[in-house]
């Protein structure tokens, strides 16, 4: 859970940023990100966009693949699951098999 009130698009950006940050933590060099949210249509999302853009500079290669909302049941499920787990820095997070 994020622990604060936010819109769906904010939650999607949070999930995206957390995923990218996790890839950085594990020293991933090449990353493909699947997303279904508009990057900066809403001015409230500009800080999220800026943060994600800052994170992308640490990869050798990173690409973003847009998925239409009606085709993204798996993306929605993964976003929901990612927000349901509290990540602890002190212990390893178990792998979730879908």
- Domains of the chain, residue spans: 8-84
Closest CA to 32 of 47, 16, 43: 16
Summarize pLDDT for 70-82 with one digit per residue, the tens: 776 776 677 677 6
pLDDT of 12: 81
pLDDT band at 5 (very low <50, low <70, confident <90, very high): low
- Report the largest interatomic distance among the alpha carbons of the chain, rounded to a whole angstrom: 38
Vertex 43, ends 9 and 23: CA angle to 5°? 50
- Residues 35-84 pLDDT 10s: 876 656 678 888 888 999 999 999 999 999 887 767 767 766 776 776 67
Residues 6+ apart with CB under 8 A from 12: 35, 36, 37, 79
| Tokens read off for 31 | 């990353």
CA separation for the pair 55, 17 (Å, rounded): 8
Residue 2: per-residue pLDDT: 47
Q: What is the pLDDT of residue 36?
A: 72
């Amino acid at each position: 859970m994020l622990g604060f009130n936010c819109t769906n698009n904010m939650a999607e950006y949070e999930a995206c940023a957390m995923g990218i940050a996790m890839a950085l933590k594990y020293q991933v060099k090449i990353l493909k990100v699947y997303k279904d949210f508009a990057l900066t249509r809403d001015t409230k999302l500009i800080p999220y966009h800026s943060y994600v853009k800052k994170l992308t500079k640490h990869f050798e290669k990173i690409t973003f693949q847009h998925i239409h909302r009606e085709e993204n049941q798996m993306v929605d499920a993964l976003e929901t699951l990612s927000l349901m787990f509290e990540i602890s820095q002190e212990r390893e997070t178990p792998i979730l098999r879908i």
